[in-house]
């Protein structure tokens, strides 16, 4: 006996999608300005602004100009900036001493930003690549291998220098082992008990960092070498959980997954497993892709950027570091 076909569809998922009100009621995730961290590039001098060739709309700015950008971020309600220095070649060395110079570009910029906009969160990058002549994130031996413990000792000085300048959050992005614990101990000992650590726990050896290395001028120094002996293999996922577990045990307050869009599975697993504040970095190459396609008229920029943001939120990110932060904040404001 053949089965009778059903006469009516009891379940029609499209019913809920038919009207705007029910689509709104059914919406599971929402992006707000509270989710945004804006990465900025600072350089020496006054009244200087240079657009990054491979990142149209992204600028390297001297501190006075950066203060104007910060004012806009405050007005737009962006919670925090992530600061990256463009260091003059003359200050680079094998031992990256400039990384912890209290009069260096980063501490000077932090002091200026905190004095002008105390409520704006300032996140500093803890890593040696802007300060080494070879562009690696740490100090190297004569084979070019990045030395772990020697590097961590310098990262501790760098993090302390940033905290003393008033950074709210120090963000080690170097992937050395044990640096979170060493930095946490040093901060506690120095009385900086409220300095947050945002650990780049799962940072992959990614080709999507290309435009960033142009922006800070480390790509020429790096040449043909790579970062495979400290950044993670894109083939791995369990390893990310082990890295996050270690950084949390060592005293990280927040963890970062980087890059973003090709690694949303990692964001999801980290958030699900640990339930800690989890961030994703939509990196320079992701920005460059979306920007280039939009400039060609191949993609609708606002639509794809907002869709990408919802992807991060769905995956479980509590916030997104994105070069689009100011554009997004304006779009959110104008559609409110």
d(CA 266, CA 202): 8
For 74, 103, 231, 277, the CA distances from 177, given in Å and listed in that order, are 35, 28, 11, 21
- Considering only 113, 199, 283, 315, the residue that binds ligand PBG (CB under 6 A) is 283
x/- site string to Mg ion, residues 223 to 262, per CB under 5 A? Answer: --------------------x-------------------
240 in contact with ligand PBG (CB under 6 A): no
Q: Is 203 a catalytic residue?
A: yes
137 in contact with Mg ion (CB under 5 A): no
SS (H, E, C) the chain: CCCCCCCCCCCCCHHHHCCHHHHHHHCCCCCCHHHEEEEEEEECCCCCEEECCCCCCCEEEEHHHHHHHHHHHHHHCCCEEEEEECCCHHHCECCCHHHHCCCCHHHHHHHHHHHHCCCCEEEEEECCCCCECCCCCCCECCCCCECHHHHHHHHHHHHHHHHHHCCCEEEECCCCCCHHHHHHHHHHHCCCCCCEEEEEEEEECCHHHHHHHHHHCCHHHHCCCCCCCCCECCCCCHHHHHHHHHHHHCCCCEEEEECCHHHHHHHHHHHHHHCCCEEEEECHHHHHHHHHHHHCCCCCHHHHHHHHHHHHHHHCCCEEEECCHHHHHHHHHHCC
Nearer to ligand PBG, 63 or 204 (CB): 204
Question: Which candidate in 65, 92, 203, 313 is catalytic?
Answer: 203
Beta bridge partners of 232: 204
Q: Is the peptide bond before 259 cis (omega within 30 degrees of 0)?
A: yes
Q: Which stretch binds ligand PBG (CB under 6 A): 87-95, 103-111, 125-133, 324-332?
A: 125-133
Nearer to ligand PBG, 168 or 174 (CB): 174
Nearer to ligand PBG, 109 or 284 (CB): 284
250 in contact with ligand PBG (CB under 6 A): no
Nearer to Mg ion, 40 or 197 (CB): 197
Beta bridge partners of 84: 41
54 touches, from ligand PBG, Mg ion, none (C-beta below 5 to 8 Å by class)? none
Q: Is 227 a catalytic residue?
A: no
Q: Find out whether 50 is annotated in a ligand binding site.
A: no
Rounded to a whole number of angstroms, the minimum distance from the CB of residue 228 to Mg ion is 15
Nearer to ligand PBG, 222 or 245 (CB): 222
Rounded to a whole number of angstroms, the minimum distance from the CB of residue 169 to ligand PBG is 15
Rounded to a whole number of angstroms, the minimum distance from the CB of residue 244 to Mg ion is 8
137 touches, from ligand PBG, Mg ion, none (C-beta below 5 to 8 Å by class)? ligand PBG
Nearer to ligand PBG, 52 or 64 (CB): 52
284 in contact with ligand PBG (CB under 6 A): yes
129 in contact with ligand PBG (CB under 6 A): yes
Residues 174-213 that bind ligand PBG (CB under 6 A): 174, 209, 212-213
Q: Give catalytic residues, as residue numbers.
A: 203, 258
Residues that bind ligand PBG (CB under 6 A): 125, 127, 129, 137, 173-174, 209, 212-213, 227, 283-284
- Residue list for the binding site for Mg(2+): 243
Binding residues: 243
């Amino acid at each position: 006996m053949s089965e009778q076909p059903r006469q009516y569809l009891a379940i029609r998922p499209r019913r809920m999608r038919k009207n705007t009100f029910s689509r709104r009621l059914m919406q599971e995730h929402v992006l707000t300005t509270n989710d945004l961290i804006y990465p900025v590039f600072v350089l020496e001098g006054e009244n200087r602004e240079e657009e990054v060739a491979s990142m149209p709309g992204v600028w390297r700015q001297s501190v006075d100009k950066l203060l104007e950008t910060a004012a806009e971020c405050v007005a737009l309600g962006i919670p925090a900036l992530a600061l990256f220095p463009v260091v003059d070649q003359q200050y680079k060395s094998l031992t990256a001493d400039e990384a912890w110079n209290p009069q260096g570009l980063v501490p000077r910029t932090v002091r200026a930003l905190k004095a002008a906009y105390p409520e704006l969160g300032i996140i500093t990058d803890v890593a040696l690549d802007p300060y080494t002549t070879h562009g690696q994130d740490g100090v190297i031996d004569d084979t070019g291998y990045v030395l772990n413990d020697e590097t961590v000792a310098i990262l501790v000085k760098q993090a302390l220098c940033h905290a003393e300048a008033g950074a709210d959050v120090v963000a080690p992005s170097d992937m050395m082992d044990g640096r979170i614990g060493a930095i946490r101990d040093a901060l506690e000992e120095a009385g900086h008990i409220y300095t947050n650590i945002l650990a780049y726990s799962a940072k992959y050896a990614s080709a999507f960092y290309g435009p960033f290395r142009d922006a800070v001028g480390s790509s020429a120094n790096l040449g043909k070498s790579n970062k495979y002996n400290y950044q993670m293999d894109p083939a791995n996922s369990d390893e990310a959980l082990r890295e996050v577990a270690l950084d949390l045990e060592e005293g990280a307050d927040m963890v970062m997954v980087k890059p973003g869009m090709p690694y949303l599975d990692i964001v999801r697993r980290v958030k699900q497993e640990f339930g800690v504040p989890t961030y994703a970095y939509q990196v320079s190459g992701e920005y460059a892709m979306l920007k280039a396609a939009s400039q060609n008229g191949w993609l609708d920029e606002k639509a794809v950027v907002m869709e990408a943001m919802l992807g991060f939120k769905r995956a479980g990110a509590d916030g997104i570091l994105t070069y689009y932060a100011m554009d997004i904040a304006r779009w959110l404001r104008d559609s409110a």
